[in-house]
Amino acid sequence: MQLTEINIYPVKSLGRVQLSQSSLTDRGLMHDRRWMIVDEHNQFITQRKIPSIAVIQPQLTDRELILSHPNGSSARVPLVSDGGEEINVQIFDQICLAISHQNHSTELNNWLSNILGLTCKLVYMPDQSHRFVKEKYGAADKIVSFADGFPYVIIGEASLNYLNQKLENPVPMTRFRPNFVFSGGEPHEEDKWSQIKIGTVHFRAVVQWGRCMVTTVDQNTGVKETEPLKTLNTYRKKDDKVVFGMTLIGPSSGIVSVGDLIEPLS
């Protein structure tokens, strides 16, 4: 089996950035979901609430995060914070520390608010903010970015191919927003794993990932549909959840590259 894709999503629920190589950090891949959009009550905003948010495309340079919309407009913010207000933001049932970019926030937040049609702002998770993986998964010492619950999600191409054989209109892997995609193995090969090695980096598999309505959002148009969740409900239910893909936790450093071999360790 071989790693074929590395994806990061710098801003939670916005578009992806594909990489050929990425560094691991204490909370996931570098720059993955370190930014998030919150409403006027500092509650997180995702495609669950506004599906059209999916079409905002991020781009990373050495110095900036650039956000672009299909209408031709864009906004930018520095990768390194220039100071800003510290606030507590809510993501699901967790509260954690975030900051806004002081010298760029007004223009950027007005841009976001106009596009989304509600008052909102972009916040950043600084290094001193520690949002922990939930204790029940045996990883209480691990922290995570603004990702839903775990630092990494991995899915096999065979799993998607098996699903698409059941669909009238096949869907791309982007519907599932994985960090890692791999070739080889059987459909849902990842379900069997407890520990794996990607290249030279060891990861622990945690739990099959429960999927939500975000899988029904066309990531290119921001339009919500019924598939593939409808079909997945017929054969991928576990504990009243639809599961597709495996969550991982890993070390605080290391490098993964497209082409790395994937080896199950147990």
Residues 6+ apart with CB under 8 A from 61: 79
Distance CA 76, CA 171 (A): 31
- Per-residue pLDDT tens over the stretch 97-121: 999 865 567 888 999 999 999 999 9
Integer CA distances (angstroms), 204 to 66, 120, 150, 168, 253, in order: 33, 36, 11, 35, 14
Query: Which has more pLDDT, 139 or 43?
Result: 43
One-letter amino acid of 236: R
- Per-residue pLDDT tens over the stretch 165-181: 999 999 999 999 999 99
pTM of the entire predicted model: 0.95
DSSP string of 81-127, one letter each residue: -----EEEEEETTEEEEEE--TTTHHHHHHHHHHHHTS-EEEEE--T
Q: Where are the domains of the chain?
A: 2-27+133-264, 31-124
- Residue range 211-235: average pLDDT? 97
Q: 2.30.110.10, 3.90.1150.10, 2.40.33.20, 3.60.21.10: which CATH number matches 2-27+133-264?
A: 2.40.33.20
Distance CA 82, CA 104 (A): 9
- In the block, residue with structure tokens 């995570």: 144
Cis peptide before 126 (omega within 30 of 0): no
Residues 6+ apart with CB under 8 A from 72: none
Q: Which band of pLDDT confidence, cut at 50, 70 and 90, is reported for residue 85?
A: confident
**Number of Cβ within a 10 Å radius of residue 10:** 23
- Per-residue pLDDT tens over the stretch 185-221: 999 999 999 999 999 999 999 999 999 999 999 999 9
Distance CA 10, CA 15 (A): 8
